[in-house]
Structure 1
Amino acid sequence: MPSNLNRSLIKNLDLFKSLSDAALDSILETAQVYRLLTGDAAFRQGEVADRFFVLLHGHLKVVQVTPDGEQVVVRYVNPGDVFGIARAMRRPNYPASTLAVQESLALSWPSTEWDDFTATNPHFASNALQTVGQRLHDAHARIQELSTEEVEQRVARAILRLVDQSGRQTPEGIVIDFPITRQDIAEMTGTTLHTVSRLLSAWKDRGLVISGRKRIVVCAVDNLIRLAEGPHTSTPQPTDAKV
């Protein structure tokens, strides 16, 4: 077991809660610790998918470059999440890059161990399967949003998803608990930085959010939910959104 890794760091994660100390020790024997500074990549799009990971601390964003050269923020990785499981989906290469948005700590294992890893740890396998299913559901939902919803709805939904995944209550409101830029939100929602900036400024004037450099606080969740549900209560739509 790596000497710089405390067993309790993974014992309390949902993926590993049901495992005995002996099972944890066996898992950690082949684990490698990854320390990522802001901007570091755990792996990059197109690289051979030779390892899979579990995030222990921090936050990562999954970024994909389309054939047209457009960058898309696919999702965010939160502590306790398994990621980099391309080989589990029978893909030889990583379909996207995964970058640290703040200092982060992860464990990784060789992809060649995935089948044995899941066979001997049914709880981990079940959680990993749920993760894959949730990602497929989220991908289908985003395709539907891009096809049918106005830009304000998409931005509201994206922020609400982040609040649900990583929101932390503060006296100001619910803060998204990792650095996130307006450009990130634009790349999540298929729109432009200018459009996101205009929307957030309008919402700030209405008391819905507080936004600053790499920081978003939601002050009125119910109002943001109403915006996400339909355009009938929304701010007039900017005309420069991508469709």
Structure 2
Amino acid sequence: RVTLVSADGREIAYRDVEPGDIFGELGGIDGIARSASVVALEATRAARLSGTAFRDIVMTHPTFAWMLLEHLSAQLRRMTERVFEYSTLVVRKRLIVELLHRAEKAALVDGEVSISPAPTHSELAATMSTHREAVSREMSDLAKRGLIEKRGSRLLLHDVSALRALVDKKE
């Protein structure tokens, strides 16, 4: 997970690095160090390239260079979506959007989306740029409505269509 911690200790999670992904590419391109941290959430194997080696690979391997452009394009699109969400959606809707993003990668079990392991409220807050308490309040409300349920180490989304409708509903 790529994170940044503010001066007052608030953590913001930018993205989760998936198997096969690259990170740190901006420093490899422009040589400027970032203050973001990368934290392994499970057993991980990683390789490191010097800036010079990275630039050499980009310059001599067009396929890699194109893959890098696609990767950067996807990251920019995701960041643009997040800025839009943070600017226009209340916490409840941002939470639902985040759960729906996670649902895209999750398993379908008995007709329900099963996110495993269930994200903690702190993790969700860091990803959504809000406070844990706000996430806890909204998760509790969604559970009371029967839309989500924490079951063991999983988070079940009982009605994805209803969750999408809540995001689209005018307030």
- TM class, shorter-chain normalised? 0.7 to 0.9
> What's the % identity of the aligned pairs?
26
Q: Which of 206, 214, 220 is the matching residue for 2:159?
A: 220
Report the structure number with the largest CA radius of gyration. Answer: 1
Cα 1:72–1:121 change in 2 (3 A) is same
- Residue 214 (structure 1) shift: 6.3
**Counterpart secondary structure, 2:114:** strand
Please state if 1:185 is matched with 2:88.
Answer: no
Task: Give, in angstroms, the shift of residue 191 of structure 1.
Answer: 2.0
Structure 1 range deviating more: 120-129 or 147-156: 120-129
Matched, 1:101 2:41: yes
CA deviation profile, 1:173-204 (whole Å, cap 9, x unmatched): 22334562110111121222122112112222
Counterpart for residue 21 of structure 2: 81
**1:136 equivalenced with 2:76 (yes/no):** yes
CA contact (8 A) 1:102 1:179 kept: no
2:34 counterpart SS class: coil
Distance 1:218 1:120, change over 3 A: farther
Q: Is the 8 A contact 2:118 2:150 kept in 1?
A: no
Would the aligned equivalents of 2:4 and 2:13 in 1 still touch at CA under 8 Å? yes
How far the C-alpha of 1:162 sits from its partner, in A, is 2.0
Q: Runs of 5+ in structure 2 lacking a partner? A: none
SS in 2 for 1:152: helix
Structure 2 counterpart of 1:64, which letter?
Answer: L
- Three-state SS of the structure 2 residue aligned to 1:160 is helix
Pairwise mapping of residues 57-206 of structure 1 onto structure 2 (< 5 A)?
61-164=1-104, 166-171=105-110, 173-178=112-117, 180-206=119-145
Read off the aligned partner of 1:163 and give its amino acid letter: A
Q: What's the offset of the Cα at 1:84?
A: 1.6
Matches within 5 A, 1:48-59: none
Gaps of 5+ in 1: 1-60, 233-243
How far has the Cα of 1:98 moved from its partner? 0.9
Retained in 2: the 8 A contact 1:175–1:216? yes
CA–CA separation in structure 2 for the residues paired with 1:172 and 1:74: 30
The answer as to whether partners of 1:210 and 1:217 remain within 8 angstroms in 2 is yes
Provide the C-alpha distance between the structure 2 equivalents of 1:74 and 1:95, rounded to a whole number of angstroms: 12
What displacement does 1:153 show? 0.8
Q: 1:156, CA displacement in angstroms?
A: 0.8
1:108 maps to a residue whose letter is R
Q: Conserved in 2, the CA contact under 8 Å of 1:64 and 1:73?
A: yes
**TM-score, normalisation: structure 2:** 0.84
Shift in CA distance, 106/188, structure 1 to aligned 2, threshold 3 Å: same
1:110 and 1:179 mapped to 2: Cα distance?
36
Contact 2:29 2:55 in 1 (8 A): no
Question: Which structure has more helix as a fraction of its residues?
Answer: 2
List structure 1 runs of 4+ shifted beyond 6 angstroms: none
